[in-house]
Amino acid sequence: MDIPSYLRRLGRPDLLGAPATLETLTALHAAHVERVPYEVLDIWLGRPTGIDPAESAARIVSGRGGYCYHLNGAFAALATAMGFRVGRHVGGVHTADAPPAITGNHLVLTVELPEGRYLADLGLGDALHEPLPLAEGRYRQGPFEYGMRPSVVAPGGWRLEHDPSGSFAGMDFALEETEMSAFTAMHEHLTTSPESGFVRTAVVQRRDRAGVDNLRGLVLTRLGHGAHRTTLETAADYFAALADVFGLTLEDATEEEKALLWKRVHAAHQAWLNGTDPAVT
């Protein structure tokens, strides 16, 4: 783990050598969600990714983001290298029209601290800005409120309830610890199946203290402070939004790859407008 490079990517080189405290964890968590976007663009670029934490960390240091297996996997490696006691857990994110379940579609992290055990989750896109204690209650972070309570589908586990304005209803997870290999099959499904939301919609999200920026296809929205909604009409607008709002300059992509990305995202947007299947082709 190249800790100095990772911390520079987060804009927090001052945390090098910092003690493994709640204050440090909170600073790392906030910097990570603000500087490293939740994104699935490699699916739309036609480039498969793995979920090895070292590979994910290298992609993040190079300027890219990822989804939960990448973001939480890399963060677990970083936090462990900085002296934190981190646990990986199998979780399940669900929308309002689906029941809670431990599906394995989410990698969850917990961190043991003298103050107690905390949920540290960089991979929920539009959710947490800072860690939450594993203690039943309601918690406000900026304009959003979250609930934490024992899970009814994972005995001994916990459930995070998202703010009503969020992109999903809740996330349950078991407290048994696991390895990254537990997510290999679901990663394959999420990145290749026509039924996967990642294959059907090119999602990019970034959380900050005052709200969340959300790009789904060509529709850019802001929730919280500065709320707005706009449709990106041109390739220039799309790539400018990726760079200016999410910090994604895609320097690792060729011009041909970026042209293919725009073609696919634009076609999916038109299919969505027409009420037809928007899956990537």
Q: What is the pLDDT of residue 119?
A: 98
Distance of alpha carbon 171 from its chain centroid, rounded? 13
Q: Please write the tens of the pLDDT for every residue from 68-100.
A: 999 999 999 999 999 999 999 999 999 999 999
Q: What is the pLDDT of residue 279?
A: 58
- The C-alpha torsion from 14 through 16 and 17 to 21, rounded to 10°, is 80
Q: What is the pLDDT of residue 67?
A: 97
Local mean pLDDT, 10-residue blocks, the chain (281 residues):
96 98 98 98 94 97 97 98 98 94 97 97 96 97 97 96 95 96 96 94 97 97 92 97 97 95 95 74 50
Identical fold, 3-184 and 196-274: yes
| Inter-residue contact 200 to 279 (CB < 8 Å) | yes
What is the full DSSP assignment across 124-160?
A: SSSS-SS-EESSSEEEEETTEEEEEEE-SSSTT-EEE
Other CB atoms closer than 10 Å to residue 168's CB: what's the count? Answer: 17
Domain ranges of the chain: 3-184, 196-274
- Domain 196-274: give its CATH code: 3.30.2140.10
| Inter-residue contact 62 to 85 (CB < 8 Å) | no
Class of domain 3-184: alpha beta
Q: Is 126 exposed, middle or buried (0-12, 13-18, 19+ CB in 10 A)?
A: buried
Q: What is the pLDDT of residue 48?
A: 86
